[in-house]
Amino acid sequence: MKENQEYKKIGCAECTEGAGLGFDFTMAFQPIVNTTTKEIFAQEALVRGMNEEPASEILGRINDTNRYRFDQSCRVKAVQLGAKLNIQSFVSINFLPNAVYRPELCIRTTLEAAKTFGFPVNRIIFEITEGEKIKDHVHLREIVQYYRQQGFLTAIDDFGAGYSGLNLLAEFQTDLVKLDMGLIRDINQNKGRQAIVKGIVQVCKELEIRVIAEGVETYVELAILQSFGIELFQGYYFAKPKFQNLAAISNLFD
Q: Is residue 64 part of a domain?
A: yes
The pLDDT, as a whole number, for residue 144 is 86
Instruction: Give me the pLDDT at residue 92, please.
Output: 97
Total domains in the fold of the chain: 1
55-60 contact pairs (CB < 8 A, 24+): 58/23, 58/25
Give the whole-number percent of the chain exceeding pLDDT 90: 59
Q: Is 42 domain-assigned?
A: yes
* Nearest-10 crossing angle of helices 2-9, 67-84: 20
Evaluate whether residue 28 is within a structural domain: yes
The CA-atom distances, in angstroms, between 178 and each of 130, 149, 215, 222, 230 are 10, 21, 10, 15, 11
168 pLDDT band (50/70/90 cuts)? Answer: confident
- Residue 55, domain member (yes or no): yes
Instruction: Tell me the average pLDDT across 122-143.
Output: 77
Q: Residue 11 pLDDT more than 60?
A: no
**Exposure string for 46-61, b = 16+ CB within 10 A, e = fewer:** bbbbeeeeebeebeee
Give dist(CA 30, CA 14) in Å, integer. 26
Which pLDDT does position 5 carry in this prediction?
Answer: 43
What CATH number does residue 98 fall under?
A: 3.20.20.450
Report the pLDDT averaged over residues 173-194: 94
Per-residue pLDDT, averaged over 192-200, amounts to: 94
DSSP lists the bridge partners of residue 30 as 44
pLDDT for the residue 1: 35
The yes-or-no verdict on residue 131 having pLDDT over 90 is no
Confidence category of residue 22, pLDDT binned at 50, 70, 90: confident
The verdict on residue 193 lying in a domain is no
Predicted local confidence at residue 3, as pLDDT: 43
> Which structural domain, as residue segments, surrounds residue 140?
2-154+165-172+234-243
